[in-house]
Amino acid sequence: MDSNGVVEWAVVESDIGPLMLAATETGLVSVVFHATPEIRDRMVERLRARLGAEPVEAPGSARLAEPERQLAGYFAGTLREFSLDLDWSLTAGFNRQVLRELARGVPYGAVAGYGELAERVGQPGAAQAVGAAMGSNPLPVVVPCHRVVENDGGIGGFGGGLETKRQLLALEGVLPQPLF
């Protein structure tokens, strides 16, 4: 990761709990749910190992200002489409191809099936591999893996937990808001 040098990270509050955001000079590289100290420490180690750079805690970082602003707008219901520079270096190959198609092709308020996404990237029959790609998504919320559901109408799995997936889909109007 010689070109990116430093990875800056910070934890921000959100409607779905604390999120850890990390960015390189290329762009946002990671969004992590439920950013407890233990999860944060694990992610700092993972970023160090995967990107070959020393992650630096940088609350108020200029590099993170726009991702923070856009996420706040998303949770406030005023932003429906992220326009952030993304650093895709934590994903590669089929997973990266599927995640890029998801980011480009499944808009706010819509959902796609695992099989449908597999077809869109020219790999019909690779629904399970699409599921694995969603599970490895380094940029959840921004790259909206919560919008991928089972073809039979089931909600499917979610790295951030099913309750988090339900909250995101309710925010986008796909699911009814819970009554309490």
Residues classed as catalytic: 145
Which structure tokens are listed for 47? 């970023």
Q: Phi and psi at residue 136, in whole multiples of 5°?
A: -100, 5
**Up-side HSE of residue 53: CA atoms within 13 Å toward CB?**
21
Could you please report the per-residue DSSP string of 77-136?
A: T---S----B--TT--HHHHHHHHHHHHHS-TT--EEHHHHHHHTT-TT-HHHHHHHHHT
End-to-end CA distance of the chain: 46
Integer Cα distance of 119 and 176 in angstroms: 29
